[in-house]
Amino acid sequence: MAEVGQMDTPEQAEFRQSARAWLEDNRPADPIVRLPLTPLEIMTEGQLSYLQAWQKAAYDAGLVGCDYPVEMGGGGKNDCQRIANEEMLAARTPYMPNVIGLGMAAPTVFYHGQEAVKQQLLPRLFSGEDIWCQGFSEPGAGSDLASVQTFAERKGDKWVINGHKVWTSLAHFADWMILLLRTDKSVKHDGLSYFVVPIRSALGKGVTVRPLIKMTGETGFNEVIFEDLEVDDGYRLDELGKGWQVAMTTLLHERGAGDLVTPRSGGMKNKSSHVSNASSLISLAKRTIRSGSTAADDPLLRDRMMQQLVRETGMAASQRRTRVTALQDHPMRLPLQNKLLMSEIAQDTAGIATEVEGAAASLYLADDAAPDGGQWPMAYMNSFGFTIAAGTSEVQKNILGERVLGMAKSK
């Protein structure tokens, strides 16, 4: 493993020291509620308020938005978010609830928003007081995102929005939405524009949010209906008709290939959370008895578990290699693989875990006899969220083939 902190600049080293000291004294108490696998399945106010309190505390301690300018509520530092993330992950703090805000809305607003909008919105986004959601997908526009039909019509210096978004994660708690919509029906990509819209304050007044239930039984995503919602022109990001370019900034960051580092914590270890990786898979196999020995003695399962360990280690090594220019032929080749690898590895790891469990993989969360609290069948199902959301694996392969290998567009 690489040694943490070895290549720190003086600014980073000092920042790391203070982050570490703060985290030592301020690690949040274990939650009294069960936390879902990821923030995208936050279902109750109890879960949300626990996580929001953590994000606010981390923000006040300077661990969130470190590299953004001070006047927008950031820390004004150089490349320190990465340091904060390393320290938070090492301290096994909980994850942050405002993931879409931090990972997608913030960089998009930063690159494309007007100054006043940045100053108004980013501080509460970083602190987690405002939760954000992403209104991109529609019933008729998924992988073919540029075909969205939600429409904004000009009315003086306002816009009137009508349309239907689906799979909108966190919309049930969200204060704000990043919204990709159409302002011109005569052209496809160039007819798109991009807005930030306050949705919580408009609930029942032009915005309706209806929860959708996932295959795991959890909620977390929603459909959002717009009926004559009025929005100020100041909330438009970038120029009219440039919505597709703005959306690319969002998607690049969503897929872990953007240049602004997303604040990230997580990995908290307690009975209500579960980490699904090769080492927890191996530990499961060692505890699982089959015909007199353990699943960890089965040569076929051993081979498959080692495949996962190799892929996981390879992904981590690739993330390091991304920072060594001489070991890359194309600047986007590794970053654009992130999302594909992460989601496919998570899926296969959880899938193998359920095979290790065998018949016991039939037991779900509420069954006391379920190994690891029934989290593996849950993780397996949940993993399809990762391979579908944010551009499916198939779409990621199209992008890699086209942008990196220069193959003809499949559309």
Ligand X SMILES: Cc1cc2nc3c(=O)[nH]c(=O)nc-3n(C[C@H](O)[C@H](O)[C@H](O)COP(=O)(O)OP(=O)(O)OC[C@H]3O[C@@H](n4cnc5c(N)ncnc54)[C@H](O)[C@@H]3O)c2cc1C
257 binds, among ligand X, other proteins, none (CB under 5 to 8 A by kind): none
Q: Enumerate residues 6+ apart whose C-beta is below 8 A from 216.
A: 41, 378, 381, 382
User: What secondary structure, in 3-state letters, does 250-315 show?
Assistant: HHHHHCCCCCCCCCCCCCCCCCCCCCCCHHHHHHHHHHCEECCEEHHHCHHHHHHHHHHHHHHHHH
Judged by beta carbon, residue 167 or residue 235, the one nearer ligand X is: 167
Mask: binding to other proteins, 321-340, rule CB under 8 A, as x and -?
x-xx-xx-x---xx--x--x
**10 in contact with other proteins (CB under 8 A):** no
**119 in contact with ligand X (CB under 6 A):** no
From 142-150, 256-264, 296-304, 356-364, span contacting other proteins (CB under 8 A): 296-304
Judged by beta carbon, residue 59 or residue 221, the one nearer ligand X is: 221
Query: What is the smallest separation between the CB atom of 330 and other proteins, expressed in angstroms?
Result: 10
Judged by beta carbon, residue 71 or residue 144, the one nearer other proteins is: 144
Q: How many CB atoms lie within 10 A of CB 45?
A: 11
Q: How many CB atoms lie within 10 A of CB 230?
A: 15
2 binds, among ligand X, other proteins, none (CB under 5 to 8 A by kind): other proteins
**293 in contact with other proteins (CB under 8 A):** no
**3 in contact with other proteins (CB under 8 A):** yes
Query: What is the smallest separation between the CB atom of 393 and ligand X, expressed in angstroms?
Result: 7
380 binds, among ligand X, other proteins, none (CB under 5 to 8 A by kind): none
- The burial of 357, by beta-carbon neighbours within 10 Å (0-12 exposed, 13-18 middle, 19 or more buried), is given as buried
- Spatial distance between the Cα atoms of 304 and 306, rounded to a whole number of angstroms: 5
Residue 272: which of 27, 29, 28, 33 has the closest Cα? Answer: 33
Q: How many CB atoms lie within 10 A of CB 370?
A: 19
Q: Active site residue: 41, 218, 254, 357, which one?
A: 254
Judged by beta carbon, residue 48 or residue 285, the one nearer ligand X is: 48
Task: Give me the phi and psi of 277, to 5 degrees please.
Answer: -145, 180
Chain CA centroid to CA 289, Å: 36
Query: What is the smallest separation between the CB atom of 397 and ligand X, expressed in angstroms?
Result: 8
**310 in contact with other proteins (CB under 8 A):** yes
- 143, 201, 279, 283: which one contacts ligand X (CB under 6 A)? 143
389 binds, among other proteins, ligand X, none (CB under 5 to 8 A by kind): ligand X
- 68, 136, 194, 376: which one contacts ligand X (CB under 6 A)? 136
The radius of gyration of the chain from alpha carbons, rounded to an integer in Å, stands at 22
Q: Which of residues 243-282 bind other proteins (CB under 8 A)?
A: 282
Q: Which of residues 379-398 bind ligand X (CB under 6 A)?
A: 385, 388-392, 394-395, 398
H-run or E-run covering 24 = helix 10-26
Q: Which of residues 199-258 bind ligand X (CB under 6 A)?
A: 221
Q: Which of residues 387-406 bind other proteins (CB under 8 A)?
A: 394, 397-398, 400-402, 404-406
Is 342 in a helix, a strand, or coil?
Answer: helix
Q: Residues of 253-274 as b/e, b for ≥16 C-beta within 10 angstroms? A: bbbbbbebbbbbbbbbeeebbb
- 169, 265, 280, 354: which one contacts ligand X (CB under 6 A)? 169
Rounded (5°) CA angle 284-290-296: 45
- 230 has catalytic annotation: no
Residue 330: which of 395, 249, 399, 390 has the closest Cα? Answer: 399
Q: Which are the catalytic amino acids?
A: 254
Kindly list the residues in this chain that would bind other proteins in the complex (CB under 8 A): 1-3, 6-7, 282, 285-286, 296, 299, 302-303, 305-307, 309-311, 313-315, 317-318, 320-321, 323-324, 326-327, 329, 333-334, 337, 340-341, 394, 397-398, 400-402, 404-410
Kindly list the residues in this chain that would bind ligand X in the complex (CB under 6 A): 40, 133-137, 142-143, 167-169, 221, 385, 388-392, 394-395, 398, 410-411
